[in-house]
Every structure is written in C-alpha cells, then in structure tokens.
Structure 1
Amino acid sequence: MTERETEPLWGYIASEPDIKSTRNGKARFFAFVGEPQYRDEPDGSRARVGTQYRPMVAYGPAAEAAASKFARGDNFVAVGYSRPYSYKKDGRDISGKEFVVLGIGHDSLRTNYDVDRSVRPARGTGGEPAAVAAKRGQEVPSEFTAARTSTSAGQTIAL
C-alpha cells in the first residue's frame, strides 16, 4: 500500500453540508469549500485574487464530527489529502479533485468559540473517562509533566 502525502486546507464551508451513508453503512460528509487565493505583491503585502471552490469529503468519525460541528459559512482548518474523482452524469464525463478529510477543526483565527473541557468518555473504553484511558494506554514523557525547570544552558525544557 502506498502512503498518501497529507496536506493542510484552510477555507470555509461554501455549500450546505450533506451527510449520508455509504453502501457499507459508513457516514459520509460532503460540502463544497472555498479557498481564498492570494498573490504576494512586490512591496511584501498580499492581495486577494479570488476564491477557488472544490469538493470536500470525510468518512466515519471525521464525517460525524464535521456534520455535527460545521455549517455553511464556517471557517475551518483541515488535514487530509487530494484525490481524483470521475463519474458520468447525464451522459457527460465529470472529473476533478476532491479533498478527503482526516481531521478538521474550526479556524481559531477567524472563529469565536468556547471549548468544553469537561471529561467525556473515550471511544472503546466502555464509558471510562478519557483521562483514565489516557493514563492506561498513553505514555507521556516526564519532561511534559514535570514542573518547570531550567537547564544549565538557561533553557526551559519542561512544559
């Protein structure tokens, strides 16, 4: 199996999002997204030169999360990959590229939102709180949990 190269995508949801099921019952999210395009100017500024529109899809848990959190006009940041598509519609060949979402969130530079930090059950743990599941299954380097200290070079190494 070949590895896909992931890429970021910044933009906004340009159409009404649609969620349906695939033939095998997996959730599928679909929306057209707008990507503002810019040009670097000789004086160092950037000029907006238009918007490129493209289809975006997500499957499974990413589709369910996108459908529950995004509406038309919302700004987002996503990571995923582009892939070609083609099909026939009304006797015409339709083809292009779509962006397949692996992860997506609101663009914090353009969106005001509140974060719910309450403990929620982790998937696949039978309702066990996420913090407990993380302690059970995730190793955390000690430099991330230790109190802030300085090294002999004067740099802080722990968070």
Structure 2
Amino acid sequence: MTIRTKQSLSGFVATDPEPTFTRNGDVRVYMRVGQPQARFEQDGTFTQLEPEYTDLVMFRRSAELAHEQFRKGDNFIAEGETLTYTGSDGTEREQFVASRIGHDNNLTRYTVDRTPPERDTPHRETPAREQVQQALAEREAQLDPEPPAATSAASVQRDAVAR
C-alpha cells in the first residue's frame, strides 16, 4: 500500500480568518497567509527579506475549526493543494486550499487535549457555525444601517451565499 501525500504550506496568518458561506451553505474560511523569506550570504549569515503572501481557504468542518482556533500572527503548517482561479477582475490567482491545518509546534507553545472529540450530527448547529452566522449578521448590520426588524440565521446565510 502506498502512503498518500499532499502538498504542504507553512507560514504565519497575516489576516484574521474571515468566515463566509458557499452557494451550498457550507462554511468557508479565508485568510491571507505569509511565509518568511531569507537569503543566505557568503559570510554564513542570513538576510531577512520581505515575506511572500498567498490566500488560504478551507471548507466545512475544517473551516469552522480554523475560524475558532487561528488568529492573525499564528504560525501554522497546512496540508492541501495549490489551485489557480480567475478573480473577479479577470486576473489569474493562486490560493492554497487546505484540508488540514495546525499550529507549528516549532514556533508555538500549547497544550494538547487528548479527550476524544464529540461527533457532530449532520443537522446539529455547532458553536463555530453559530459564531460564523453571528459574525456575518454583524457585518451585514455594518453594511446596512437600517437592518430588518428580525433577521434569522437562515436569512443571513442565504444573503451571504447570494454575494
């Protein structure tokens, strides 16, 4: 049996993770990420260069977890693939679509919680989804100075998908 491997990306989170929803209603999280760059000099020293940046996106439960656990400045290691897409302005761009992401243990101090994870039922709202929906509702309220009297989570989700 062959061991499955994927591309990886390591670096730092340059912007706070931004939650949205896909047309299918799945959670999507977007973050701009950077990777430090250095040049090795002939005298054996390193010269720090400007970081290189790219977009990182995740979907569904992985996106919910990333939104909960990552903040601007965190160091990470992610597994996934680099995809090219055409932006709204017609230019081709690359983004890293991560299926897994974790804090870089060489640069981050943390403790490990080894309690078994709870298994979510497909129709149950998770705390992360509720946080994402609340964040979208708050953003909607900032964009629309006179929001409707009652906004349901479902209508926020539909409105986010429509954008």
- Which TM-score band (shorter chain)? 0.5 to 0.7
Matched, 1:94 2:91: yes
Check the 8 A contact 2:87/2:93 in 1, yes or no: no
Structure with the larger RCO, 1 or 2 (CA within 8 Å, 6+ apart): 2
Aligned to 2:70: 70
- Distance of 2:118 and 2:18 partners within structure 1: 27
Identity of aligned residues (%): 35
Whether the 8 Å contact between 2:62 and 2:99 is mirrored in structure 1 is yes
Equivalent in 119, 124, 139 of residue 116 of structure 2: 119
Cα deviation code 1:125-152 (max 9, x no counterpart) = xxxxxxxxxxxxxxxxxxxxxxxxxxxx
Q: Which residue of 1 aligns with 2:59?
A: 59
Runs of 4+ displaced beyond 6 Å: none
What is the match of residue 151 of structure 2?
Answer: none
The amino acid that maps onto 1:40 is F
Cα deviation code 1:101-130 (max 9, x no counterpart): 011000111111111112333467xxxxxx
| C-alpha separation in 2, matches of 1:17 and 1:7 | 21
Report how many aligned residue pairs link the two structures: 117
Distance 1:46 1:7, change over 3 A: farther
**Structure 1 Cα separation of the partners of residues 99 and 13 of structure 2:** 16
Q: Give unmatched runs, 5+ long, in structure 2.
A: 122-163
Match of 2:85 in 1: 85
> Is contact 2:27-2:61 (8 Å) kept?
yes
CA distance in 2, matches of 1:85, 1:23: 17
Q: CA deviation at 1:61?
A: 1.9
The structural deviation recorded for 1:44 is 4.7
1:37 deviation in Å? Answer: 1.2
Shift of 1:43: 4.5
1:113-152 equivalence runs, <5 A: 113-122=110-119
Select the structure of larger CA radius of gyration. Answer: 1
Greater strand share, structure number: 1
Q: In the TM superposition, what is the alpha-carbon distance from 1:39 to its structure 2 partner?
A: 2.2
RMSD: 1.9
Could you tell me the TM-score, scaled by structure 2's length? 0.64
Cα deviation code 1:5-52 (max 9, x no counterpart): 832111111012111110001110101001111223335544322201
Which residue is equivalent to 1:40?
40
TM-score (norm. length: structure 1) = 0.66
Change (3 A) 1:79 1:14: same
Indicate the SS of the match to 1:47. strand
